[in-house]
Amino acid sequence: MSVMKYAACIEYDGTNYHGWQRLKDTPSVQEEVEQALSRVANHLIQVTCAGRTDSGVHGIGQVIHFESDASRDEKAWCMGCNTNLPDNIVLRWIQQMDDDFHARFSATSRRYRYIILNHKIRPALLDNKVCWFRENLDESLMQDAANRLIGEHDFSSFRASGCQAKHAMRELQEITITRDGKYVYVDIVANAFLHHMVRNIVGSLFEVGTKRHSPAWFSELLTVKDRSQAGITASACGLYFVSVDYPKRFELPDKASPPSFGI
């Protein structure tokens, strides 16, 4: 029986997991997904993802690929996998692919959304789903600062000390800050991301939004290439891996919409 390649989209609440990547003796999203798919296939399956997420980070449109010689149609794969997944993880779609598709290397960009509850009172129902920031934020100043990151730059000032990437050059294609009542959304698209890059950018945006630094400070951070000069690492709970872009020839299903809590 021939081996087939599949792409699939995973949605997950990352609150109770130590990130996407399979780790020894700690719960991970990847481990849960691989175990569920393996039960459906009746053989061991290992998956490759578009981009790993950290402990506590959520996923709306994480894309994976895997191979199997099991004779299953797409409906059987999807229903069988979801039956074996915990309630906080779901397989949204699955599709047979040509051999040249790769969840990571075929991707042209990744999109994240960071959600901030900008309010004096902490959340209860949305605990672990948004980042609570009680000081008033000026989103127009934050956008002015963020615009300075557009393009290809060395993002060393926004890179975690333990980042294993070979270099810090990344192309940030889009970053938009919007407010809907007490919620502030940071939407960011890049060809790829460094470890903690989005959270470090948001932590620095807090400095600008509270007027402790001017927007021009972001240009300085790109120049100094020094993580210690930038802001804090914003909490993981406000971060969502929204979607991945691929060349149209792969004909993947439409991407999910980013989460929104504004009223």
Q: Which residue has the tokens 């938009």?
A: 176
Q: What does the alpha-carbon distance between residue 19 and residue 239 come to, in Å, rounded to a whole number?
A: 12
Q: What is the DSSP string of 138-160?
A: -HHHHHHHHHTT-EEEE-GGGS-
Q: How far apart are CA 123 and CA 149, in angstroms?
A: 30
Paired strand residues for 114: 186, 239
| CA 186 to centroid of chain Cα atoms | 12
Question: Is-catalytic flag, 54?
Answer: yes
Q: Both tokens of residue 146?
A: 């963020």
Considering 54, 73, 127, 187, which one is annotated as catalytic?
54
Q: Which residues contact 82 (CB under 8 A, 6 or more apart)?
A: 36, 90, 91
Name 8's bridge partners.
64, 94
Pairwise CA distance, residues 212 & 66, whole Å: 47
Active-site amino acid positions: 54
